[in-house]
Structure 1
């Protein structure tokens, strides 16, 4: 099955010998001025639309496969138009298990129409020992739109004493505004880099990191507000703003500390609580 939006063949898998069963999921959700406009789901990708007491509708991503491993494919498309707003989150943390062949591939495509607002607030991604993940995030924004995107990464399961020695991770972000690329970011962690992760100039003792991107007409103006909120946190963080964008980076020794810090920061920055799934 070839997805027309990304050109990715979700069913092609180059594995020698007998084929191993893979999880494939594709889901799309879109809101317009009058409400839900698009809802499509197939395979292990599902979208829940819970009753929300907030003025902004919520869409919750569910992976019924329980996690991803080598060869799995998971694609989410979310969009808003005609002045609509939407908050997208995930039912739980996404777990990337040890791969026995190939990479898990995740593609997230976002479209935010003129005058619209979309928040992308999934829970953390946990990389297990031997995980292999290629994740691609693309967002296409139009004039006067507002876009808030969070991605949190946890390296290993500290509560189980897991120390990563083998990992294949490639995370790529690309953001367009009115057809022009305005932001690109990438993080790659391969087998050769594992020995260097504990160096003070890299991660040191930290095993949880997060990036929060805010693209909106008032992004530059809110820089001082963001700095004030960060000073109240118990994790290391830094923020910068330019060209209508704000980027906040967090790093922490513990995943729980990171999660608490992000919730506290976003409560102040957004002016409302996180989606209910974050409290389950």
Structure 2
């Protein structure tokens, strides 16, 4: 069924997912996973023995106007989770109602989160509100990214007549480190230089040496990329017309920083290689 057909068949559903990770002497375990609606996870696996790799499953038919999704992830002290997805998230066109996605991550002392979702695709005329917030302990570690696709550029479909409101926040010990907002309305992409791909990456805690190394890796994105370091939070922003350039740059940055931040070699999630 098409996205419009799905929307007309229902007024929208409210899906929730709450995950809690716990450190044990052997490994990090998924101590609790509660969900309602079509938000769930696959069984965890351990390609690195101690680190919990987990695949989050978004609704298979995509997200339509009126749908509401709430994701809450808690990492207890010393736990380490890497979370990704088997495929892209899709926000379909809407004839009026707005879709909403809220994601909150709470990291305790010495907890490590790698939040590495696949891209989020906004179909032409989609109406969506997204809010992602990370609450860090001073001694926790974060490697996270988001990649938005506006329209379907591979098929020649520009993002038109839609509206997207997105907020990305990072807090440490109750104090804000980053408050990033993006608002696109009436199908206008002037705020993103008419580029259909928008990426953000955040890493904590980072150093000046890491900043310089990341800037070198951004060279393929030319003038549409930059990196800053504020209060040990490394933030990378970029725009592009090519998803392959985006994905390659993001993975190279993650592979470059993971050994320095975590003292662990990069182990690519298996799903990325299929």
CA distance change for structure 1 residues 19 and 67 in 2, over 3 Å: closer, same or farther? Answer: closer
Task: Answer whether contact 2:101 2:131 (CA < 8 A) is retained.
Answer: yes
2:86 corresponds to which of 87, 91, 110 = 91
What CA distance in whole angstroms lies between the structure 2 residues aligned with 1:276 and 1:24? 30
Match of 2:262 in 1: none
What CA distance in whole angstroms lies between the structure 1 residues aligned with 2:200 and 2:178? 13
Task: Answer whether contact 2:88 2:120 (CA < 8 A) is retained.
Answer: yes
Match of 2:66 in 1: 71
Q: Secondary structure at the match of 1:246?
A: strand
Unaligned ranges ≥5, structure 1: 1-17
> Mean Cα displacement is larger for which, 21-30 or 207-216?
21-30
Match of 1:267 in 2: 255
TM-score of the superposed pair, with normalisation by structure 1: 0.84
2:122 is equivalent to residue 127 of structure 1: yes
TM-score of the superposed pair, with normalisation by structure 2: 0.86
Match of 1:14 in 2: none
Match of 2:33 in 1: 39
Task: Answer whether contact 1:112 1:118 (CA < 8 A) is retained.
Answer: yes
> Mean Cα displacement is larger for which, 67-76 or 32-41?
32-41
What CA distance in whole angstroms lies between the structure 2 residues aligned with 1:19 and 1:154? 26
Match of 1:211 in 2: 200
Unaligned ranges ≥5, structure 2: 1-7, 259-264
Could you list the structure 1 runs, at least 4 aligned residues long, displaced by more than 4 angstroms after superposition. none
Match of 1:26 in 2: 16
CA distance change for structure 1 residues 138 and 277 in 2, over 3 Å: closer, same or farther? Answer: same
What CA distance in whole angstroms lies between the structure 2 residues aligned with 1:275 and 1:139? 22
- Once superposed, what is the RMSD of the aligned Cα atoms? 2.0
Matches within 5 A, 1:95-174: 95-174=90-169
1:226 corresponds to which of 193, 206, 214 = 214
Task: Answer whether contact 2:45 2:54 (CA < 8 A) is retained.
Answer: no
Deviation at 1:183, TM superposition (A): 1.6
